[in-house]
Amino acid sequence: MTVEEFQDALGEMLDELPTPLLEDLNGGIIAEPSAKQSEESPGLLILGQYHQDHYLGRFIVLYYGSFAYLYGIDRNRWLREMRKTLRHEIRHHVEERAGLRDLAREDQVLLRKFLEDSGEQ
């Protein structure tokens, strides 16, 4: 999948979502061409991130390079994982707006378990 196809698929996925979920996502959703590695575990790739910044606003980044590295030429897997990642990051956005951090805590538990299982902690 090319970067352009990735962006197009992302746009189609956004069209599937109810508009209120995207409210206050004033920085939009960005398809970043590069891959992103975890700061906690440099071998772990990040597929997407939700950001809230005083100056840049609220936005989501999906990392094309991470998907390319992990899913190669399997287009169906790309689309499945993109949809899953996008919805995960939108949940971060919705919870942040509601003053909740449930998903952030779940992510931390999963990361800690992954690090323990891989012998990194």
Burial annotation 70-95 (CB, 10 A radius, 16+ → b, else e):
ebeeeeeebbebbbebbebbbbbbbe
Q: Which amino acid is at 107?
A: D
Q: Which amino acid is at 46?
A: I
Q: pLDDT digits over 11-67, tens only?
A: 999 999 999 999 999 999 999 999 999 887 878 899 999 999 999 999 999 999 999
The answer to whether the Cα torsion of 93, 100, 37, 117 is positive or negative is negative
Domains of the chain (ranges; CATH) run 3-117 (3.30.2010.20)
Pairing assessment for the beta strands 28-32 and 36-37 based on DSSP bridges = unpaired
pLDDT band for position 116 (cuts 50, 70, 90) = confident
Instruction: Name the 3-class secondary structure at 18.
Output: coil
Q: Which amino acid is at 34?
A: S
Full-prediction pTM beyond 0.85? yes
